[in-house]
Chain A
């Protein structure tokens, strides 16, 4: 804790008290007394209504203003006369937030006593407005967000990292890292866990792709207009079996609801010098005036990049291209809110060809050589080995808010994931080769449905119960042994209650999940008939948490949760060689579920000039599924392959992550982000493999006074220090972890006021010193350096912002 700011807070408290008039003091004492009395009394308290009228500064009533109490996660929208009403409020002090597009967000502190309370709000127009929730709301939101550790990437910050993969977008957050497979594939790691242990929730639907491989990145449009929230740690109660390490939630921004406003949207484009990446995205949205209550948004984006370049050479065949599109349709009437969302993600990406190797001796020779065998010139060509992936998502969500404050939400989602992997080896047979078929093709179709019911507040209790189900079919197009055909059904029920009183929040939740899987692996791994194997799993998850908002600017939250994950199909039946790492991997059909039990604590502070979020955690795994190296390598006609079995062991992950910011003056802000994680196998007493190395990020931010047409210009320097991973198991890897490295990133940004349209420009240079390095979590670190310096230019232009 920052001692200076604590002293400051204390002094402010005392001066406020001294400055108060005797009557106010008396009133405050009474309020405190009343709060204590209510807190200790068992008698039922009559609930009150908060109501009022929202107006603009000239006095005209403002309809459509969002009135929200973040602490209760409840709100209302003002009607055509500007009138709003939030009923069933317990006595207490609440922060109420009034927000409306084009106006400055207002936060009011409201004390609800024995009678209904009327609060009128006058909203000031905001000369430059964005469609997003404005910055001021962050403060209260941040402190009362969750009893767990949650990081939120608001759209402003998101805009400054646009155009990169989801993994790269998130790696700046405390506790997050990325697992890279060359420059074109990256997947997020949350506190040391990734793939099936981290759930990606896209528009409310759990993303169902081929998540089992390290080289399978989540199929997410990096330009989608969303808010990103990362829940770190065990989150199985709301999100189901599998969310054992964390959840990444991408929630589409609210659709516009004011038909009197014209079309709005954003055009964004960016360019990267390192791989000549060009990307553009456009979205348009509108609330229909002809069809009251109907609103829509269309969005599309394109990305294309050539080979990335390490400081000394081009990384051959790391080019990629991507096309994405989405349509969102909304309908609102009285308490009913319907949303339909359809999206397409399509990509074709090259995989660094030097990583495609034959056997162990080939790999050892490549490591020994230290650099790729060939490094041809830069190119935009995408050759085999490559992946072609498409992901379609269609979802329909209906929410009905009852007058009592209860809310029923039902969401159906359909996903179709199609993955083709093209081997560097084409068939010898010409007629087969001419077909240009993938070596590996999988289609995964998933239907999911979830219904949740937020019951009306009962006393101080807010809660939700839910039921969910999923049906899934995986079909194998070509090779039969790496992952078999399978069909799975999952079902779950859960309940979670939150008890809120003033500054204290307590959560308790539980969930029951069932999973049934029927797979068709070959009888003897690679040969024999396809045989039917059926497994089913049933288990419970639970969570107990608390949050204490103990001062105006401080809160502390803690959580104890336990969750489980059934073994995935690859862990059960995988049988074959993973090219790129020359590992022979063998699944175990008898694996049982793994269970994680975690405890964590998060301290949050949001002061006038200081901000802090610091978490410590410890997670124990019972039956952690991992690849155990077999001392006997596998000898085949193709050569020798180190062999790994899927095995289970008790394991422990502990760590610390924090971010802190201090405004040194109005112009200078400094910040620091720390991520430390320790993974241990408790049975072999060795560290777990592939744990992120310690990382420290230092940021200096300078606000430059506006000049000419440049508004809010700012400069940022970021120094990212990644240590060498010194904790790794013996005999499970071919090369020791690479050395630590330091990267300097610089950026400058401003809004240029061209006429009525503020154009946001962001220019940066990544790896400014052109450092040669290899990251431990890069799966190609055996073969090739990570990319060198890149100059990046980003631009976004709001549409219809006049």
Chain B
């Protein structure tokens, strides 16, 4: 091959390669169907039924996008001197999955923590009534006891700890909180 031939070959190779580069850029790139599939809890519902009978209270924390942009949290109005039987439901609204049943199935890797804070801290106590296979508390079921007295306001903090690598011992929170919400609470005298 002469030099000129070599040179031509190189130029030709360059042109072909440029063609390849741009030919590869022709199809459209809408995201695949499987995009946006990760699980996310978007709705938490507390249901409190007075133990002496009466209408159940519900309070919902809803975050339809999961990013906090449209987060709404209902206010809970509790009656002084009342004990409630409580349950909690979790929903993944994006994938339309009921997470409650799945937490129940993996109850040895989950625990709820309910903490009354602010002006209701000394007035409201929460006791978990259900246990997992190791007899440790879970928190899908609980009782809320409100002492008698004057009106008060505060928050009920609800945390779901996930125990992935850490062993659940019933007394320590993990570093992985699946939910962490403050429900505003008013006590009506």
Contacts and interface: CB of A to CB of B under 8 A. Distances in A.
A366 interface: yes
Given A424-B176, A451-B14, A469-B21, A637 B42 contact: yes
Interface string A398-438: 10101100001010100000000001110111101000000
A408 B32 contact: no
Interface stretch (B3-11, B80-88, B126-134, B148-156): B3-11
A363 to B, nearest CB: 8
Contacts of B30: 485, 520, 530
Interface string A67-110: 00000000000000000000000000000000000000000000
Given A356-B176, A359-B180, A408 B10 contact: yes
Nearest to B35: A480
Interface stretch (A12-20, A156-164, A183-191, A471-479): A471-479
Interface in A447-504: 447-449, 451, 469-471, 473, 475-481, 484-487, 489
B25 interface: yes
Interface stretch (B48-56, B59-67, B136-144): B59-67
B181 interface: yes
A638 B41 contact: yes
A449 B103 contact: no
B99 A520 contact: no
Nearest to A576: B67
B79 interface: no
Interface in B87-144: 92, 95, 97, 99, 102-103, 105-106
A638 B177 CA distance: 7
A373 B166 contact: yes
B121 to A, nearest CB: 17
Interface string B173-189: 11111111100000000
A667 interface: no
Contacts of A451: 14
A303 B44 CA distance: 46
Nearest to A432: B39
A428 B13 contact: no
A508 B178 CA distance: 57
B63 A636 contact: yes
B18 A473 contact: no
A371 B2 CA distance: 70
B69 A525 contact: yes
A635 B66 CA distance: 10
Contact of A481 (B36, B71, B167, B181): B36
A175 interface: no
A698 interface: no
A487 B27 CA distance: 10
B13 A636 contact: no
Interface string A632-660: 00111111110000000000000000000
A310 to B, nearest CB: 17
B29 A429 contact: no
A526 B97 CA distance: 18
Interface in A572-609: 575-576, 584
B164 to A, nearest CB: 5
B141 to A, nearest CB: 19
B171 interface: no
B70 to A, nearest CB: 8
Of the candidates B6, B42, B64, B159, the one having the most CB atoms from chain A within 10 angstroms of its own CB is: B6
Contacts of B162: 358, 425
Contact of B25 (A336, A358, A487, A576): A487
Given A402-B3, A485-B31, A526 B66 contact: yes
A584 B71 CA distance: 15
B35 A637 contact: no
Contacts of B103: 428
A489 B166 CA distance: 46
B71 A635 contact: yes
B45 to A, nearest CB: 12
A293 interface: no
Contact of B29 (A357, A398, A432, A485): A485
A479 B166 contact: no
Given A358-B175, A471-B24, A408 B7 contact: yes
B29 A487 contact: yes
Which 10 pairs between the two chains have the least Cβ-Cβ distance?
A639-B180, A358-B177, A428-B102, A636-B68, A480-B36, A480-B35, A527-B65, A526-B67, A447-B21, A412-B17
Interface of A: 316-317, 334-336, 353-354, 356-359, 361-363, 365-366, 373-374, 383, 398, 400, 402-403, 408, 410, 412, 423-425, 427-430, 432, 439, 445, 447-449, 451, 469-471, 473, 475-481, 484-487, 489, 518, 520, 522, 524-527, 530, 575-576, 584, 634-641
6 contacts: A336-B6, A358-B180, A403-B3, A427-B38, A447-B20, A634-B67
Interface of B: 1, 3, 6-7, 10, 13-14, 17-18, 20-22, 24-25, 29-32, 34-39, 41-44, 61, 63-69, 71, 92, 95, 97, 99, 102-103, 105-106, 159, 162, 164-167, 172-181
Given A402-B3, A636-B68, 12 more contacts: A335-B6, A353-B165, A403-B3, A412-B20, A425-B164, A427-B39, A439-B38, A477-B35, A478-B34, A525-B65, A635-B68, A638-B41
